[in-house]
Amino acid sequence: MHKNLLRYLSKFITPARLALFEKVLNERTNYITVVLEDIFQPQNASAVLRSCDCFGIQNVHVIENRNEFTVNKEVSLGSSKWLSIQKYNEEEHNSQNAIKKLKKDGYRIIATTPHTSEQTLHEFDVRKGKAALVFGSELPGVSEIIMNEADEFLKIPMYGFTESFNISVSAALVLYEISNRLRELEPEKWKLPEKEKDEIKLEWIRSTVKQSQLLEERFYKEMTKEQD
């Protein structure tokens, strides 16, 4: 049924648009995911989403503790439309819940912080397994909970007086480096499985086609008639 719906809705977008979706999906990954913890400034949050889209990161996890995550459309340029964003904002311990889920899904937790010298970006081993890169709030950085739960720590080498990069700059630098190295691995290790590609493509088509919900209802009615 899922495949049939995808084929049906695909008829309502241009072949060029469909080909673009498939081209982009072929470069998407969930081997690396990004976690944004309590980001305060919308322009920073939006810039990170834009970098995720540009570097092929499909899944973004947003933790809202004190600060509500908002998107600045002028900065994001619609990138959030193409990402799978999961928010953690309904309970008291949102950071713990996010980390628990990510570890259950097989991710090692990588806390990005300038306050530890465990490993630099150049030393980060992409081959060790799936990684969730956690970027913290603008001033305090990642929380103590994240620091305690992290499997590894990552920092960007700096040679000036300033202690840290802006979060959006940090994310762009880290994702550029890691996404390049990721593509040196075997494709089956980092590329999305076909089932997940189809699920994402369906969501993209739904967000693109006007009145997609009505079209879906028509599709299911036609399927029901054929089965009767």
Q: What does the longest C-alpha to C-alpha distance in the chain come to? A: 74
Question: Taking residues 2-10, what's their average pLDDT?
Answer: 89
Other beta carbons less than 10 A from residue 97's beta carbon = 15
**74 to 46, 78, 80, 170: CA distances (angstroms):** 9, 8, 12, 20
As beta bridge partners, residue 153 has 111
- Any domain includes 218: no
- Any domain includes 168: yes
**Measured distance between the N- and C-terminal CA atoms of the chain, rounded to whole angstroms:** 16
Number of H-type helices and E-type strands within the chain: 10, 6
The CATH number of residue 101's host domain is 3.40.1280.10
Residue 191 belongs to what H/E stretch?
none
- Any domain includes 15: no
Q: Is the pLDDT of residue 163 over 80?
A: no
- Any domain includes 72: yes
**What is the structure's pLDDT at 118?**
75
**What is the structure's pLDDT at 80?**
87
- Any domain includes 2: no
Contact (CB, 8 A) for 126 and 181? yes
Other beta carbons less than 10 A from residue 84's beta carbon = 16
Secondary-structure breakdown of the chain: helix, strand, coil percentages, each rounded to the nearest 5: 50, 15, 35
Q: Is the pLDDT of residue 56 over 60?
A: yes
| Residue 224 vs residue 193, higher pLDDT | 193
| Residue 119 vs residue 76, higher pLDDT | 119
Q: Is the pLDDT of residue 20 over 90?
A: yes
Nearest C-alpha neighbor of 63 from the set 37, 45, 26, 30: 37
**What is the structure's pLDDT at 117?**
65
Q: What is the DSSP letter of 192?
A: P
The band of 228, judged by pLDDT with boundaries at 50, 70 and 90, is low
- Any domain includes 21: no
**What is the structure's pLDDT at 75?**
66
Report the alpha-carbon distance of residue 139 to residue 42 in Å, rounded. Answer: 14
**What is the structure's pLDDT at 116?**
65
- Any domain includes 46: yes
- Any domain includes 66: yes
Note down the domain range covering 132.
31-202
| Residue 75 vs residue 171, higher pLDDT | 171
Count structural domains, the chain: 1
Question: Taking residues 138-166, what's their average pLDDT?
Answer: 86
Q: pTM higher than 0.95, yes or no?
A: no
Percent with pLDDT over 70 in the chain? 94
Report the alpha-carbon distance of residue 76 to residue 60 in Å, rounded. Answer: 14
Question: Taking residues 168-197, what's their average pLDDT?
Answer: 95
pLDDT tens readout for residues 65-118: 887 777 767 666 678 899 999 999 887 789 999 999 999 999 999 999 876 667
Type of residue numbered 38: D
Strands laid side by side in the 108-112 sheet:
84-88, 59-63, 32-37, 131-135, 108-112, 152-154
Nearest C-alpha neighbor of 61 from the set 129, 134, 143, 111: 134
**What is the structure's pLDDT at 136?**
85
Question: Taking residues 184-204, what's their average pLDDT?
Answer: 95
> Would you give the distance in Å from CA 52 to the centre of its chain?
6
Other beta carbons less than 10 A from residue 207's beta carbon = 10
**What is the structure's pLDDT at 166?**
86
